[in-house]
Amino acid sequence: MNAYLRTLGAVVWKDLAAEWRSRELISSMGVFALLVIFIFNFALDLDPKTRSSVMSGVLWATFIFSGTLGLNRSMAIEKDRGCLDGLLLAPVDRTAIYFGKALANMIFILAIAAIVLPVCFILYGVNLFNPGLLLVILLGVEGYVAVGTLLAAMAVQTRTRDILLPILLFPVAIPVLVAAVKASSGFLAAIPMEEITPWLNLLLVFDVVFTAAAFMVFDYIVEE
Amino acid sequence: MADAPVIEVARLVKRFGPKLVLRNLDFEVRAGEFVALLGPNGAGKTTLLRILSSLASPTLGHVRIAGHELPRQAAGVRRRLGVVSHLPLLYGDLTAHENLTFYGRMYALDGLDQRIDEVLAIVGLAARRRDLVRTFSRGMQQRLAIARAVLHDPDVLLLDEPHTGLDQDACEMLDTILRRVASEGRTVVMTSHDLSRIEDLATRFDVLTKGAIRASVQKSDVQRDGILRFYRQALESASGLNERQAA
């Protein structure tokens, strides 16, 4: 277990250290996320009541689109200089590499969420600092990253990786997105918890299913 | 020096869809040998090295490295193996020291800082340890790639066209490093197109063409500058064999 966690930690440390130097992922994801929010803000031009009801859709569209950029780039960095081979040559459990990459990707998307939420609060005037909503963001991002990291590892082996990832990922991630949007809307509209719980449960189930599936197949996906 | 086989490959077949890349290939390397794997483009050299390094699985056949069967005991093989390819397998946004620290952690090495100092000294990059790898020249990156490959002190080194893209000076420096790491008793298999360069390094020359080893010769059995003649004869003989088989 110690060796497993050490490998996982090494991969996370490597991704964060490289990103700290280049700021390649965070800057491109951040700029894209802010653009999406501004575009929605100006395009929809909503009254305060309607703003609240569309807020969860705007939030998740922002996370998903900017997250896809990050997932693609995160794996492309491994592939371009042959580093993926370097990782696979190490005598470690390859699922630890997967979880390391997934955890780093999750940190990047959550960092974007930390930028997006205050900006949304200012532009849309909707209070997003709700513990329930933050929990939904955590669960939703986990499910999205679990399947996204796996599919990015698959897409990066192809010549059309940039367009292939969203084509593969969006249909598969729909259950997570629907559950996340519904649960977020529920918390923002302050509807009774009993009505939100089924969506939270669904989110949790898909998180477990996607993470377990990725755990089982990652080794086969990266194998030539 | 040469005793028990460290690398044993028997009746190896590798198929990519309908394309047969390796055809019943037999290959054996004894401990301490430096084998040059020669052959034209598309002969299957890189595929063979990827199978030996556990990055690809054989379609059929047996592969055993340092007593471990592939692909079943891949983790055991990876522990004993260092790989250098024409790509550096290094992160440009990390320093030389950070790259080696990362790989050292992946191999769970003890005394990592001391070992990093040792390998950086071997490849002559101790003074650049704190510099980002993306600021390195191609030659320096390849030297650091060797440091990465020998960091965990492997018994077997697999080198896939390590001279690709290097200028004359960088090639000579790389050769000096390769001689040094090979002289430490490691078994080395290296592919190359540069016969003049590999002639001085290797102790045995195997010609791989059309998916199988067609000829093999010890350095002691080849006259000075005779590698080119041996290589051409092996290719002609393989080509003649194919024509006879086709007829």
Write the pLDDT tens digit of every residue in A177-194. 999 999 999 998 889 999
| Model pLDDT, residue A205 | 95
Percentage of chain A beyond pLDDT 70 is: 98
Q: Do A85 and B89 touch (CB under 8 A)?
A: yes
C-alpha to C-alpha distance for B134 and B90, rounded to whole angstroms: 9
Closest C-alpha to B82, from B42, B49, B41, B122: B49
> For residue range A198-219, what is the model confidence (pLDDT) as tens digits?
999 999 999 999 999 999 999 8
Residues 6+ positions from B99 with CB-CB distance below 8 Å? B90, B91, B133, B144, B148
How many other C-beta atoms can be found within 10 angstroms of the C-beta atom of residue A96?
21
C-alpha to C-alpha distance for A189 and A124, rounded to whole angstroms: 14
Q: How near does any CA of chain A get to the CA of B103, in Å?
A: 8
Q: Do A13 and B148 touch (CB under 8 A)?
A: no
- Please say if the pLDDT value at position B245 is more than 70: no
Residues 6+ positions from A205 with CB-CB distance below 8 Å? none
Report which DSSP code applies to B50.
H
> For residue range B108-156, what is the model confidence (pLDDT) as tens digits?
999 999 999 999 998 889 999 999 999 999 889 989 999 999 999 899 9
Tokens of B164: 């690709």
Overall pTM surpassing 0.90 (yes/no): no
Cα torsion angle, B227, B231, B234, B237, sign: negative
How many cross-chain Cβ pairs, A to B, lie less than 8 Å apart? Answer: 77
B54 close contact with A: CB closer than 8 A: yes
Least CB–CB distance from B106: residue in A82, A90, A223: A90
